[in-house]
Amino acid sequence: MVLAHDASALPAHTLRKVDDLCRRLSIPTTIARHAPTLTAAETQAVLPESCLVQKTITGCVANKIILWTGVGDFRVSRTMHKRANERLALPAGRDHTMNPPQVDPLHFYGMNPGMVSPFLIENTPAVNQLAALFVLDWPHYAEPFSVAISLSLTESLVIPLARLNALLCAYANAVYGHVPIFRLSQSR
Helical (H) or strand (E) element with 145: none
Q: Give a yes or no: residue 146 inside a domain.
A: yes
Which parts of the chain fold into alpha helices (H)?
12-24, 40-46, 78-87, 105-108, 125-129, 164-176
* Model pLDDT, residue 187: 66
d(CA 89, CA 106) in angstroms, rounded, equals: 30
How far from the centroid of its chain's Cα atoms is residue 184's Cα?
Answer: 14
Domain that holds residue 37: 12-184
**Which residues in the chain come in under a pLDDT of 70?**
1-8, 94, 187-188
* Model pLDDT, residue 5: 47
Q: Give a yes or no: residue 50 inside a domain.
A: yes
Environment class of 7 (CB within 10 Å of its CB; exposed 0-12, middle 13-18, buried 19+): exposed
The number of folded domains in the chain is 1
Q: Give a yes or no: residue 74 inside a domain.
A: yes
CB proximity list for 144: less than 8 A, separation 6 or greater: 50, 161, 162
Q: Give a yes or no: residue 4 inside a domain.
A: no
* Model pLDDT, residue 152: 87
Q: Give a yes or no: residue 100 inside a domain.
A: yes
Q: Give a yes or no: residue 7 inside a domain.
A: no
What would the pLDDT profile of 82-95 be if each residue is shown by its tens digit?
899 999 998 877 68
* Model pLDDT, residue 186: 75
pTM: 0.89
Q: Give a yes or no: residue 34 inside a domain.
A: yes
Q: What is the CATH number of the domain that holds 158?
A: 3.90.960.10
Q: How many CB atoms sit inside 10 A of residue 160's CB? A: 15
What would the pLDDT profile of 7-34 be if each residue is shown by its tens digit?
557 888 888 999 999 999 999 999 999 9
Q: Give a yes or no: residue 114 inside a domain.
A: yes
